[in-house]
Amino acid sequence: MGLVFLFVGKTKEGFIKEGIGKYLDLLRKNKIEVEVRELKGSAGTSPQKAVEDEGEAILERVLPSDFLVALDERGMLAGSVELAGQLGALFDSGRRVIFAVGGPFGLAEKVKARSGLLLSLSRLTFTHEMARLILLEQVYRSITITRGRTYHY
Amino acid sequence: MGLVFLFVGKTKEGFIKEGIGKYLDLLRKNKIEVEVRELKGSAGTSPQKAVEDEGEAILERVLPSDFLVALDERGMLAGSVELAGQLGALFDSGRRVIFAVGGPFGLAEKVKARSGLLLSLSRLTFTHEMARLILLEQVYRSITITRGRTYHY
């Protein structure tokens, strides 16, 4: 089992980087193989073109056997326990799970179409950097829930 | 107009403190009077007792003229624009707005009963420290939305 986080654009905000690093460490301490890839944001001639280019760069990294989770504001609004159940089943399947988080203009339709799960973190709109941090925290939480560990608040 | 954030317990996580500091600075640069008060978490004999004690400490700081927003997972699940509309109207009213975020066991019923708005950030459960950061970011976002400024992603 392995997890890959594909983020469009570099994480610039210091506190976000630090928080992401914390959850990556915690995942690795739990023997989860995890990798973060920051893909270059496209300097396309229009937001539409940029999103298309970024979508291609994402899909180039997705193998046919991978399970793709795409973050999208119109996706499933899960609760933590429900999300843990879904992710737990995925983790148990042994498939590699890829989480794709778009840049400021979101993800291309072809990425959403390829995904097995469209996930929304909240009805609130977060910056795409905050979305990364929240996603990492929730994936870590999911793993502690499915493994029955106490999550320290 | 002033904003007060009442948090139960100290913020311990470094990256969360840093993120909260960033949004406080941004709010102040926008000439918003803002204050954070971290109330001591109660070492009550039971979670129920602790929540009760913490609730009293919160309500002691709320004046009759204040508008109280209580964070609660069963509260209103707002989108960012909707939240901005509600907070914008509140800010315009000139009333002081107090946001109360509980500790690990949440807020007392009496705090929720006093509140004018029960707000849920997401169906996901966040640590109470992450909830602080997300709340600050959303309040800042609300202010940029109501003032028509571009929010930089």
Q: What is the mean pLDDT of residues B122-130?
A: 90
The answer to whether the Cβ–Cβ distance between B14 and A18 falls below 8 Å is yes
**Cα angle value B113/B118/B120 (rounded, 5°):** 145
Q: Could you please report the per-residue DSSP string of A82-127?
A: HHHHHHHHHHHTT--EEEEE-BTTB--HHHHHH-SEEEES-SS---
**How far from B82 is each of A126, B76, B87, B97, B149, CA to CA, in Å?**
14, 11, 9, 17, 16
Other C-beta atoms within 10 Å of B130: how many? 23
Q: Which of A122, A132, A142, A152 to substitute to test the interface with B, most B CBs within 10 Å?
A: A122
- Percentages helix, strand, coil for chain A (3-state, rounded to 5) are 45, 25, 30
* Residue A83 · residue A142 · CB < 8 Å: yes
Phi, psi of A146 (to 5 degrees): -70, -25
Q: Is the pLDDT of residue B10 over 50?
A: yes
**For chain A, how long is the longest CA-to-CA vector?**
48
Domains of chain B: residue spans and CATH: 2-146 (3.40.1280.10)
Q: Which residues of A touch B151 (CB under 8 A)?
A: 127
Chain B interface with A: residues with Cβ < 8 Å:
13-16, 18-19, 22, 77-80, 83, 103-104, 121-130, 134, 137-138, 141, 151, 153
Other C-beta atoms within 10 Å of B63: how many? 9
**Candidates A128, A130, A153; nearest CB to B137:** A130
**Candidates A124, A129, A137; nearest CB to B130:** A137
Q: Could you please report the per-residue DSSP string of B2-64?
A: EEEEEEES----HHHHHHHHHHHHHHHHTT-EEEEEEEPPP--SSHHHHHHHHHHHHHHT--T
Other C-beta atoms within 10 Å of B143: how many? 20
Please give the Cα distance from B35 to B5 (Å, whole number). 6
The answer to whether the Cβ–Cβ distance between A153 and B77 falls below 8 Å is no
Phi, psi of A125 (to 5 degrees): -95, 125
Q: Is the pLDDT of residue B71 over 90?
A: yes
Q: Which of B15, B136, B145 to substitute to test the interface with A, most A CBs within 10 Å?
A: B15
pTM of the model: 0.89
The answer to whether the Cβ–Cβ distance between B123 and A153 falls below 8 Å is no
Q: What pLDDT band is residue A150 in, cutting at 50, 70 and 90?
A: low
Q: Which of A13, A15, A119 to substitute to test the interface with B, most B CBs within 10 Å?
A: A15
Q: What pLDDT band is residue A73 in, cutting at 50, 70 and 90?
A: confident
- Tell me whether 0.95 is exceeded by the ipTM: no
The answer to whether the Cβ–Cβ distance between B128 and A153 falls below 8 Å is yes
Torsion angle of C-alpha atoms B58, B62, B68, B73, degrees rounded to 10: 10
Q: Which residue of B has its CA nearest to A102?
A: B153
The answer to whether the Cβ–Cβ distance between B104 and A153 falls below 8 Å is yes
Phi, psi of A97 (to 5 degrees): -110, 125
Please give the Cα distance from A108 to A121 (Å, whole number). 18
Q: What pLDDT band is residue A153 in, cutting at 50, 70 and 90?
A: very low
- What is the pLDDT, as a whole number, of residue A94? 87
Q: Is the pLDDT of residue A79 over 60?
A: yes
Q: What is the mean pLDDT of residues B57-61?
A: 97
